[in-house]
Amino acid sequence: MSDFTKITVVSVTGLQSLADGALLAIEQSMRSLPGSRGLLMSPARPTHLPSDIMHIAVKPFGYLEYSLFMLYALGEFIRTEFVLVVQNDGWVLNGSNWRDEFFDYDYLGAPVHLARVTHAGQSSYRYGFEWLPYLNNPECRVENIYNGGFSLRSKRLLEAPRKLGLEFKIPVPGVCPGPPFALHWQGEMVLEDVWLCLTVRRDLEDCGLRLPNLGVAREFSIEHAIPAFHTPDIISNIFGHHSRLRKIRDLTLKQIDYGLRPEQVGLVYGEQWIVDEFNKNNYQISWANP
For the chain, which domains are there?
Answer: 4-286 (3.90.550)
pLDDT of residue 38: 98
**Phi, psi of 241, deg, nearest 5:** -150, 165
At residue 165's C-alpha, the angle toward residues 163 and 167, to 5°, is 140
Dist CA 264 CA 208 (whole Å): 44
Which DSSP string do the residues of 76-112 spell out, in sequence order? Answer: GG--SSEEEE-BTTEEES-GGG--GGGGG-SEEEEEE
Task: Give percent of the chain with pLDDT exceeding 90.
Answer: 91
Residue 268: pLDDT over 90? yes
Q: What is the mean pLDDT of residues 249-254?
A: 94
* Consecutive H or E run containing 219: helix 214-220
- 174-197 pLDDT per residue, tens: 888 888 888 888 878 899 999 999
Mean pLDDT across the chain: 96
Q: What is the mean pLDDT of residues 200-229?
A: 96
Classify residue 268 by its DSSP letter: S
- 11-43 pLDDT per residue, tens: 999 999 999 999 999 999 999 999 999 999 999
For β-strands 82-85 and 221-222, DSSP reports them as unpaired
- 107-156 pLDDT per residue, tens: 999 999 999 999 999 999 999 999 999 999 999 999 999 999 999 999 99
pLDDT band at 211 (very low <50, low <70, confident <90, very high): very high
